[in-house]
Structure 1
């Protein structure tokens, strides 16, 4: 992951943890059928040469299909690959070979820009960054895979609005961007308009961005260089704060779901989705440490007429994570 190259511990903004109603493991409240179900995965880190990344992703898809073979959508929230053409080819192959929901949505993570760190032989060469790679080439590769026209957009699934955001710049434009998401004025205006439409329905609105807001969900005290992770984090926070029905899903930190900061709330809800490929955890000394090599996690979301249920899933043991079960009224 080479995350130590880019991440450092900074924390200055604290948020209150949301008060939630515990969900019964694997239960459907009152046998009521949900109006919408979808898993949220992130940080699958498919690399063509790494069979462990392939196997963990396949295991996650298989487990999710056992839980809910009729899920309405699947969201993979960034760090799909390491940005190499062969990685996307392998991910396409895995998607074709393994059953999954018909609707699949992707967001762009920082690792989608990582071809810029590789030389022509496919070897890591930081000294030669960007190794002839442009940001637009990286973005174009992602869009060809995802089928999108821009790194941001929205969709309506079963009457519920899904909003997808993504970084439009990397370090070629500005070295100080680091691994942070860079959101244009146009993207932020799009977000405002889409939130207005979603809010008009009176339903929750689901927002997806790979990088989290600083000082929010678990791991942001370590991931967020210069206390941001998103360059325009102040503007993004202001926009989302006007919509208490907004639920922002993020990845990037990889921090495991049993930690207290998986779900937090200020004026809207924020949820960390850990990592399919390799969760990390708090080392108890102000830093982070890898969990076991077999660990793999993600989220499963059920939407009812009066609540949203979010459950953490342990794909390795094929069981729910009791510390990561929330019901948002």
Structure 2
């Protein structure tokens, strides 16, 4: 679906390369992406950014995750852009009617207070070969190093490989080789790696055979305890938890002993297990092990990290508190959204719930709080299908590496009793966000034509205090009364930068017929904007 652009590169990260004849003309040469004086990463002070670009171009930038356009703020050489808080900075170089590929960088701005421990939490690695994973993990570990040069631990929370009962257990050695290579390359010699068992990890024996003993020090049941700089980390085996009496007894006993220790007051107990438990993150999607939720309910100091679902961490439903804290890890291979939505693709609207985005959590435990940053390893705009074939193996470089997938979550364990701690939870069902998205332009809807003369409805994306999840789109042929489009269309929120517009094709549009479009922007909690409407003819 090729549509005539109304704004420069606003709907796509990828740009078409100029022809050989055009390459010699400055007016038709697509500018190179701008460089920046300070790389993205974690800083304990504000940073000042200067951009570098080709002569004759203007650098324009955004600070809200959107794609820069000709109307975005222009960088003035010699006047640095100061970043004082966590921010995604997206910049592109413009010359005339052309722009570069936009490049996004994430900046985490912290104080000089030192955390007790720093941990990276990832999940669903799904590595199958060196050929598809080596370069990806070189990029991923570069991103890890830009935030935590020496993490105290990396938790890899299940599904390290792609075994489906088909004998791929030896692939664990491939993952081990890749991770050991990257840890050595980045000088992370003191970083502990702690693995949990997932449903695609073959057998416990295959895990033990594939990794150094220190990475999976279980005593036979796939569960174990680790000490990370005085912080208790309990790894559970969610493939057997509900039916494993010994594991349940062990977990409850250790939680009771740890939380009874006065020296642990205010400190979290981190629990990692591959599958989410019932009634917690993402409205309970793809959850299992109700007895794990039951056993953790007496311990509000517990923070449970889980993966398995591949559900994205852009969505603030990925953290949940009631009796304890649950956090969704996202996925290092590809992410998902709730089923039942469509996405704009090169072929028009298509049923999609997956995108080739990789994400992880960066956890800092302080004396009085735990801060959990959400980070994209790769979030460039791509369809999960290429030439009709499904593939999540997009290769670097990634223009979005290290960008932030949302604001940092802060977990505080305030109170002297379990009841007091629970009463002070902030990410509860009762405290859910109630702010609705809103359209911020006077004319958020417009009609556009594609190169073949077809008609499409262009939506200028709405704004929200967290994120716009999707749009309820209805288009009716008013001449005949027949509905033409009735769809829930994803806002492409898993990509960085987010496209500024979405083009919804109007299939079978008839010349001279009158069409009525109605669009409502909806966030992840179901808060809905007032409807935007447009009447148009082909």
Is 1:42 the counterpart of 2:158? The answer is no
User: How far does residue 102 in structure 1 lie from its aligned partner after superposition?
Assistant: 2.4
Is 1:102 the counterpart of 2:191? The answer is yes
Structure 1 324/273 Cα, relative in aligned 2: closer, same or farther at 3 Å? farther
Structure 1 322/95 Cα, relative in aligned 2: closer, same or farther at 3 Å? closer
Number of residue pairs matched?
Answer: 262
Q: How does 1:1-329 map to 2 (within 5 A)?
A: 24=86, 26-27=107-108, 29-48=110-129, 51-83=131-163, 84-99=168-183, 100=188, 102-113=191-202, 138-146=203-211, 147=213, 148=217, 149-150=219-220, 151-167=222-238, 169=240, 182-199=242-259, 200=261, 201-202=264-265, 203-218=267-282, 220-221=284-285, 223-224=286-287, 229-230=288-289, 233=290, 235-283=291-339, 285=341, 289-293=352-356, 295-316=357-378, 317-329=400-412
User: How far does residue 283 in structure 1 lie from its aligned partner after superposition?
Assistant: 4.5
Q: Secondary structure at the match of 1:237?
A: helix
For normalisation by structure 2, the TM-score amounts to 0.46
Q: Report the aligned-residue RMSD.
A: 2.4
Which has the bigger relative contact order, CA under 8 A and spacing at least 6? 1
User: How far does residue 85 in structure 1 lie from its aligned partner after superposition?
Assistant: 3.5
- Would you say the 8 A contact 1:166–1:183 is kept in 2? no
- Would you say the 8 A contact 2:311–2:336 is kept in 1? yes
Q: Where does structure 2 lack aligned partners over 5 or more consecutive residues?
A: 1-84, 88-106, 343-350, 379-399, 413-538
Structure 1 90/195 Cα, relative in aligned 2: closer, same or farther at 3 Å? same
Rg: which structure is higher? 2
- Would you say the 8 A contact 2:143–2:401 is kept in 1? yes
Q: Secondary structure at the match of 2:372?
A: strand
Distance in structure 1 (CA, Å) of the matches to 2:210 and 2:279:
32
Q: Secondary structure at the match of 2:255?
A: helix
Structure 1 259/248 Cα, relative in aligned 2: closer, same or farther at 3 Å? same
Query: Hey, which bits of structure 1, 4+ residues long, moved more than 6 A?
Result: none
- Structure number having the greater strand percentage: 2
Structure 1 238/204 Cα, relative in aligned 2: closer, same or farther at 3 Å? same
Q: Where does structure 1 lack aligned partners over 5 or more consecutive residues?
A: 1-22, 114-137, 170-180
User: How far does residue 168 in structure 1 lie from its aligned partner after superposition?
Assistant: 5.4
Structure 1 219/264 Cα, relative in aligned 2: closer, same or farther at 3 Å? closer
- Would you say the 8 A contact 2:275–2:308 is kept in 1? yes
- Structure number having the greater helix percentage: 1
- Would you say the 8 A contact 1:46–1:81 is kept in 2? yes
For normalisation by structure 1, the TM-score amounts to 0.73
Structure 1 328/28 Cα, relative in aligned 2: closer, same or farther at 3 Å? farther
List per-residue Cα deviations over 1:250-297 (Å, max 9, x = no partner). Answer: 0001011111311011111000011001111124549x944433x110
